[in-house]
Amino acid sequence: MNNLFPPSEFDDWAAGYDRDALDEHGFPFDGYSTVLRTIVQLTAPRPQGSILDLGIGTGNLALLFSEKGCHVWGLDFSIEMLKLAQVKLPDANLALNDLRAALPPEFPRLYDYIVSAYTFHHFPLEEKVDLIRFLMENHLRPNCSIVIGDIAFQDAAAEGDLRRRFGGEWEQEYYWLADESLSALTAAGISAIYTQVSSCAGVFQLTKI
Ligand SMILES: C[S@@+](CC[C@H](N)C(=O)[O-])C[C@H]1O[C@@H](n2cnc3c(N)ncnc32)[C@H](O)[C@@H]1O
């Protein structure tokens, strides 16, 4: 398990996070709102459905599900992010938890929808795939999907083009490369459909094969 991105970094970012993300210009938040809306569209939630948001942050994605009448459950390991999410989502069930640990005991075991935005790029590909498979096998209702929007590129060439364009703004993390990710997911028994949404972000719709 890598710990390159500790909770303290996100605590420090929490107060300024919405300003950065909702500005949407440049790297890495080009197309942020469209990414969140695409996640909702691909999930197609029904009112009263239960949703688990992984790395809920300040709650921007979960808010869209709450507006559709869903019951929101959210995890994050940054207490400062969670405090802001709770203000936006007074009825949501939130817990301070590392996504790579077991779900908190008070959380339900199964969900209709599992989603995440701008969080999985903190994990190397193998960890991403292991976590998705674990969630699919243990916490998703049958015939449901996991939808993840994140910083992602079709391949290493597309990532390289953008890295050169953004120069100094670029910070290398475990950004998704769709070509290698789709192969790794398929090999793990997960069917994945990828949609590039902006210059630096895309959405994966994931179901069990
Ligand atoms: C870039 S923010 C994205 C927040 C929100 N999902 C959004 O789209 O605006 C990443 C979030 O993931 C959380 N996070 C990162 N690694 C985590 C981990 N291992 N366990 C739990 N939360 C994590 C951070 O604390 C942060 O709130």
Question: How many other CB atoms are found less than 10 A from the CB of residue 160?
Answer: 11
Domains and CATH numbers, the chain: 33-208 (3.40.50.150)
User: Which of ligand 1's atoms lies nearest the C-alpha of 53?
Assistant: 6
Two tokens, residue 188: 């793990």
User: Residue 103 contacts by C-beta under 8 Å, 6 or more apart in sequence?
Assistant: 75, 97, 109, 139
Which pTM does this prediction carry? 0.97
Cα–Cα nearest to 120, from 73, 152, 153, 81: 152
Two tokens, residue 160: 């390289």
Whether residue 73 has its Cβ less than 6 Å from ligand 1: no
> Residue 153: beta bridge partners?
177
Walk along the chain (209 residues) and give the pLDDT tens digit of each residue: 667 789 999 999 999 999 999 998 889 999 999 999 999 999 999 999 999 999 999 999 999 999 999 999 999 999 999 999 999 999 999 999 999 999 999 999 999 999 999 999 999 999 999 999 999 999 999 989 999 999 999 999 999 999 998 887 788 899 999 999 999 999 999 999 999 999 999 999 999 88
CB 57 within 8 A of CB 125: no
Q: What is the dihedral of CA 61, 62, 68, 73, to 10 degrees?
A: 150
